[in-house]
A = this chain, B = another copy of it.
């Protein structure tokens, strides 16, 4: 009887030790996690605000925003105007501000008409960054987007590669929009500076429209039948230019080389068929991912800048450009 008591006591003691060891392990683990790692609260909500919120273009940016939120253990919400309508976007932004979110990343439909509302958010203590389309006069802490001049430089180098560094090239653009003018400037400056065998013979206004761009390209092909390449600074224009080249009787890949912009389905299909030689993909995932990282940093004051008044995040981030060709086009279809 006494023996069996001792056996039971030993057994119980073993279990007790096991349990205590677990407790100690757990508290060590808690300690460790408290002292390191960037991690928010799941109740911390960051909002992305766009315009024409249903279009494909925003998908990759939102994916980046969500990926960063998952990495940092915070929540996101996607809002925006359904139409390309300034007043609707202002209303949506007002609604978002009223809920006092942890941060707002907004793509401004207009460079100045959103400024007062953006400033209202900043004045209410909400971290705000702009992405893709800037509102330069606002109090937002940062802008993340494409350096359009640099994108034009890249397009020129790709064009030179496609044309073997020789021949006449043309541009179809939308000169009224600053980002398109910058793409054209970067393209023209690079052709002039780096490729003495090449020359820009025409810069035409395609008005951001497929039909107008097709007509512009037709005029270019008539005036310069031996044109080696055409750079379209936006997607509708690229599709229009491809139609003109095909209508002129060129088989895919045999006529003038076309470089377009962005990665909507229509453009990707023409890259796949060889009608468009290359298209410039913007770093939209980067815009979303780093918008959330910047907002998180503003919200948490991570690390803390040693200098009062010095912002804790970059003033501006160029989210980069990738050249999409037949080789890698399959990676760019929306998933």
Residues of chain A touching chain B, judged by Cβ–Cβ distance below 8 Å, are 8, 11-12, 15-16, 18-19, 22-23, 25-26, 29, 33, 35-39, 42, 60, 63-64, 67-68, 70-73, 144, 147, 150, 281, 283, 285-286, 289-290, 293, 302-322, 328, 331-332, 335
CB–CB B315/A318 < 8 A: yes
B-side contacts of A39, CB under 8 Å: 33, 36-39
**With contact pairs A22-B19, A315-B320 given, residues A71 and B38 touching in the complex (Cβ less than 8 Å):** yes
Q: Which residues on the B side are within 8 Å of A8 (C-beta)?
A: 8
Contact of A19 (CB < 8 Å), options: B19, B308, B331: B19
Query: B286 near A306 (CB under 8 angstroms)?
Result: no
Task: Tell me whether B322 and A37 are in contact (CB under 8 A).
Answer: no
Q: With A29-B29, A313-B286 given, is the CB distance from A37 to B35 under 8 Å?
A: no
Contacts of A60 in B (CB 8 A): 306-307
Q: Do A289 and B315 touch across chains, with their CB atoms under 8 A apart?
A: no
Most chain B Cβ neighbours within 10 Å, of A36, A64, A293, A316: A36
Contact A73 B331 (CB under 8 A): no
Closest to A286 in B: B314
Asked if residues A71 and B303 are in contact (CB atoms below 8 Å), the reply is yes
Task: Evaluate whether A331 and B308 lie within 8 angstroms (CB atoms) in the complex, with A12-B15, A71-B302 already known.
Answer: yes
In the assembly, what is the distance between CA of A307 and CA of B314, in Å? 24
A11 partner residues in chain B, CB cutoff 8 A: 12
B285–A309 contact, CB under 8 A? Answer: no
User: Which of B36, B302, B314, B335 interacts with A319 by CB under 8 Å?
Assistant: B314
Give complex CA distance A315, B282 in Å: 11
Residue contact A286 to B311, C-beta cutoff 8 Å? yes
Q: Is the CB of B289 within 8 A of A312?
A: yes
Bound CA span A144–B67, Å: 23
Most buried by B among A302, A309, A314, A321: A314
Q: Which residues of B contact A147 (CB under 8 A)?
A: 315-316
Q: Complex: how many Å from CA A60 to CA B310?
A: 12
A309 pairs with B328, CB closer than 8 A = yes
Q: Is the CB of A70 within 8 A of B35?
A: yes
Contact B306 A285 (CB under 8 A): yes
With both beta carbons as reference points, the residue of chain B lying nearest to A334 in the complex is identified as B306
What are 18 A-B pairs with beta-carbon distances under 8 A? A11-B12, A18-B19, A19-B22, A22-B26, A33-B33, A33-B37, A39-B39, A60-B306, A147-B316, A285-B305, A285-B310, A286-B311, A289-B303, A289-B312, A309-B322, A314-B319, A315-B318, A315-B320
Which residues of the other chain, B, contact A68 by a CB distance below 8 angstroms? 302-303
Q: A316–B281 Cα gap in the complex (Å)?
A: 16
